[in-house]
Amino acid sequence: MQIMLCAICNIASGGCSEDCKYCTQSSFVKTNILKYKRKDIKQIILEAKMAKKNHALGFCLVTAGLGLDDEKLEYVCEAAYAIQKEVPNLFLIACNGMANVEQLKELKKAGIFSYNHNLETSKEFFPKICTTHTWESRFNTNLNAKEAGLMLCCGGIYGMGESEEDRISFRKSLQELKPFSTPINFFISNENLNLKAPKLSADEALKIVRDTKAALPDSVVMVAGGREFVLKERQYEIFKAGASSIVIGDYLTTKGEIASKDIEKLEQMGFSFASECH
Ligand code: SF4
């Protein structure tokens, strides 16, 4: 079995106008995360090279904030062109919040393969975790990405206090979008966040992976943030549960597993690394 590895590059961090309660990049939260408006292109290239060395197939350019504006769009395109020139054969993903069809077409022209915009949770539960924008606006951006001809990477976060009904409803919405890949994040509590929810157990987390694969058999199920925190020594059981992709290296604002440890473990388990997005 082949595992698709993806690396995340936080190219614009923090200072976000939105109040997503799970997110340390929100201005509503006092945190000591690194904040910057623009990561140097040379640094992005270095991280892309590292991702490639770590067998990553996907490389995701993430910007904090509600959505794309002209300046951000130009910057993401500039980064995309530079990576393609210096580090060919990485599949580029953009994750830049709300976007219209024209903006997304520009990203596609610049070589972006897939757009990541998570629904995060069910339509019903979303107002409890964010009040500054709507779940529908997230759903619509996903429709825009499809219309622009981009592949979709759309998933969300579990363990924020949502019910089983919410989880089912969330996955039904994902079924409507039919994403190419669907990331599963597990909420990581932080003393500065207003969101307090009990930590998921490893069994619950593995059930979520199984239920996601059952609901979306044709999507690549990716386990992203919270893998190490929630699953600990059981983290590699996700592949039996239906996942075929993980994030390699660090996440947006939290540390991930050491890349070499993941690579060694995956090789020991007899997996190879995907070199094509099918
Ligand atoms: S819009 Fe994105 S960056 Fe801003 S607070 Fe919400 S999740 Fe965080």
H or E element: which one contains 78? helix 70-86
Q: Is the CB of 185 under 6 A from ligand 1?
A: no
Nearest atom of ligand 1 to the alpha carbon of 24 = 8
Q: Is the CB of 98 under 6 A from ligand 1?
A: no
- Residue 190: per-residue pLDDT: 87
Q: Which of 181, 184, 171 is nearest to 215 (CA)?
A: 171
Q: Is the CB of 95 under 6 A from ligand 1?
A: no
Q: Each residue of 61-88: pLDDT tens digit?
A: 999 999 999 999 999 999 999 999 999 9
Query: What are the extents of the domains in the chain?
Result: 2-273
Please tell me the distance between residue 25's alpha carbon and the centre of ligand 1 in angstroms.
Answer: 6
Q: Each residue of 169-220: pLDDT tens digit?
A: 999 999 999 999 999 999 998 888 989 999 999 999 999 999 999 999 999 9
Please tell me the distance between residue 176's alpha carbon and the centre of ligand 1 in angstroms.
Answer: 23
Spatial distance between the Cα atoms of 14 and 31, rounded to a whole number of angstroms = 9
Q: Is the CB of 26 under 6 A from ligand 1?
A: yes
What Rg value do the Cα atoms of the chain yield, rounded? 17
Q: What is the pLDDT along the chain (278 residues), one digit of tens a residue?
A: 999 999 999 999 998 999 999 999 999 988 878 898 999 999 999 999 999 999 999 999 999 999 999 999 999 999 999 999 999 999 999 999 999 999 999 999 999 999 999 999 999 999 999 999 999 999 999 999 999 999 999 999 999 999 999 999 999 999 999 999 999 999 998 888 989 999 999 999 999 999 999 999 999 999 999 999 999 999 999 999 999 999 998 777 777 778 889 999 999 999 999 988 76
User: What is the fold of 2-273?
Assistant: TIM Barrel (3.20.20)
